[in-house]
Amino acid sequence: MSELTLTKIRLSNGIWQGRLTGAPAGQRPEIGVRHHDEPVETVELTEGESGDWDLKITIPALAIADGVQSFVIFDPATGAKLGDFALIVGEAASEHLRAEVDLLRAELDMLKRAFRRHCIETS
């Protein structure tokens, strides 16, 4: 298990940014990033304030394509996953989002029925 903790800051202009904490003082952590099980080479790690590390991952141009593009950020020493992010683009995005909205609607309907039943049973 890794002692490192990764917190997302933002994704802007093709650069994913995060803050890494939990690294031993004065020791630069090793970070791995994979896209479609291939290593991403455009990773920058710079020491920030109070021993934290700023992580910048420039999204490779080949990853900007239709469909879902997933990135996994991990600690190579332990193999522990620290975080992930995904880009969803094109027709697959609209179908994926529609499916998610449909699932949310179904869950909301189920919760409404359960809540109404609870109100009837307790009154």
pLDDT band per the 50, 70, 90 thresholds, residue 2: low
Domain encompassing residue 116: 90-123
Say if residues 23 and 46 touch (Cβ distance below 8 Å).
Answer: no
Tell me: pLDDT of 53 over 70.
yes
pLDDT given at position 93 = 67
Statement to judge: residues 79 and 111 lie in one domain: no
Distances, alpha carbon 75 to alpha carbons 23, 32, 40, 44, 60, in Å = 11, 6, 14, 14, 20
Most confident of 4-13, 24-33, 80-89, 105-114: 4-13
Statement to judge: residues 104 and 84 lie in one domain: no
Looking at residue 49, which CATH number applies to its domain?
Answer: 2.60.40.1130
The mean pLDDT of 30-39, rounded to a whole number, is 92
Tell me: pLDDT of 60 over 90.
yes
Predicted TM-score (pTM) of the model is 0.73
Statement to judge: residues 66 and 12 lie in one domain: yes
Statement to judge: residues 69 and 27 lie in one domain: yes
